[in-house]
Structure 1
Amino acid sequence: MFYRPEDGHGLKHNPFNAVVTPRPIGWISTRDSDGSENLAPYSFFNAVAYVPPQVMFASTSAKPDRDGTKDSVANIRETGVFCVNIVEYAMREAMNLTSGPWPREIDEFEKAGIERVPCEEIPCSRVASAPASLECRMTEIVTLRGEANFLVLGEVVGVHLRDDCLEDGMFNVLKFQPLTRLGYRDYSRITEVFSLKRPGE
């Protein structure tokens, strides 16, 4: 099968949503200039550089009460900071609850019963039980083609690692089984890893 996205695919659901998979999930916590907090998952998320460490996530739709975007991007525009919380399999239901189209005044930490703790380097909360959290200062928000598509880039200025996820001096993902997004309503978890040696190493 071949199709041009501009012509449509003729399938029941958009296959592009399931092609780039699995995708890590960035559980983004933010705070607006008035101190109200938000927590929302984004599967268009990844690390993009080592030195200095940098991450990105993309927001691809809008809420009627947020002037062409979502709470996360609106808050980051105001404060310039955000925290990426890594999602473990055990938190899948709480993560899913925070993905709802809740009004801006709803605090997803409270709605989903998630314990929060203050970040160290930025004025924002993080998920207390997350396997890892990355405190970030926004470096750029890029407007992408299409309606309400924004790419947020940030430099990581603080890293939290849950102690039980460290083993022999390494961050062991099997200790928490990262939750990943596939396509449609499908998710997966990492339960097995293997190593490959690069040529020349």
Structure 2
Amino acid sequence: MFSSNQTPSRQQKDTVRNVEATGVFCWQLATYALREAVNITAEQVPYGVDEFDRAGLEKEYSTVLATPVPMVKASPIKFECEYYTTLRLPGNPPMGSADVVVGKVVGIHIDEGVLTDDGKIDVSKTQPIARCGYYDYAVVRETFQMIVPGGTKDTLYGMEGSVRKHKAAREAGRRMGVSAEDEQGPP
């Protein structure tokens, strides 16, 4: 998902209009290295202006979607998405409402340089940025783990995001006649 402020005249930004018209979009991780380009692409410009060109971003194109969609080549993580819905949150004039666009991920592109030795994303290597409010942003350079107490292996594998471990736990449970949800303990 992503969100986009509407214009002061309560018009949707081009990105939201294009997503709703085509039914597809690509999401890319906004990183500290890309912060200036992210800011440039937030500017309200006339419909049809190529934000990639304005921000000096190199494009590459989606490979899974039926309609090719440009992606930010320099972003280390990119998702190809099929449009699901738009949630419009009311604003306070003169600022328009915010559109929250939700999609289903059908293709994933991850730069191997941001992975750990065991194949997980090392968030400190990606240095994602997040808007905090006002004109303030944060950059993530350090992470820590907290495992939910009392979670089942199946639940914990699902929260970890390990498809392989999650599937293996379900299969092992089926073979033993026990659901993976019944097994307690950390992964």
TM-score by length of 1: 0.66
Match of residue 7, structure 2, among 62, 65, 68: 62
Residue 158 (str. 1) matches residue 134 (str. 2): no
Match of 1:31 in 2: none
- CA separation of 1:94/1:154 partners in 2, compared to 1, >3 Å: closer, same or farther? same
Match of 1:197 in 2: 147
Q: Which runs of at least 4 in structure 1 moved beyond 2 Å after TM superposition?
A: 56-60, 141-151
* 1:125 shift after superposition: 0.8
Identity %, equivalent residues: 38
Match of 1:173 in 2: 123
Match of 1:132 in 2: 77
* 1:114 shift after superposition: 0.5
| Greater relative contact order structure (CA < 8 Å, 6+ sep) | 1
Taking the aligned partners of 2:132 and 2:55, their CA distance within structure 1 comes to 23
Give the AA of the match of 2:39. N
Work out whether residues 62 and 70 of structure 1, in 8 Å CA contact, stay in contact via their aligned partners in 2: yes
**Would you say how many aligned residue pairs link Structure 1 and Structure 2?**
144
1:93-172 maps to which residues of 2 (within 5 A)? 93-122=36-65, 123-145=68-90, 148-168=97-117, 169-172=119-122
Work out whether residues 63 and 70 of structure 1, in 8 Å CA contact, stay in contact via their aligned partners in 2: no
Work out whether residues 60 and 149 of structure 1, in 8 Å CA contact, stay in contact via their aligned partners in 2: yes
Q: Deviations over 1:62-94 (max 9, x none)?
A: 276xx8311111101210011101011111111
Match of 2:133 in 1: 183
Match of 2:21 in 1: 78
Match of 1:39 in 2: none
- CA separation of 1:101/1:145 partners in 2, compared to 1, >3 Å: closer, same or farther? closer
- The structure richer in helix per residue is 2
Max Rg structure = 2
- CA separation of 1:191/1:115 partners in 2, compared to 1, >3 Å: closer, same or farther? same
Greater alpha carbon shift after TM alignment, 173-182 vs 138-147: 138-147
Taking the aligned partners of 1:102 and 1:141, their CA distance within structure 2 comes to 22
Work out whether residues 117 and 125 of structure 1, in 8 Å CA contact, stay in contact via their aligned partners in 2: yes
Cα RMSD of the aligned pairs, angstroms, is 1.8
Match of 1:6 in 2: none
Work out whether residues 2 and 27 of structure 2, in 8 Å CA contact, stay in contact via their aligned partners in 1: no
* 1:173 shift after superposition: 0.9
Taking the aligned partners of 2:99 and 2:58, their CA distance within structure 1 comes to 28
- CA separation of 1:127/1:85 partners in 2, compared to 1, >3 Å: closer, same or farther? same
- The structure richer in strand per residue is 1
Taking the aligned partners of 1:92 and 1:149, their CA distance within structure 2 comes to 21
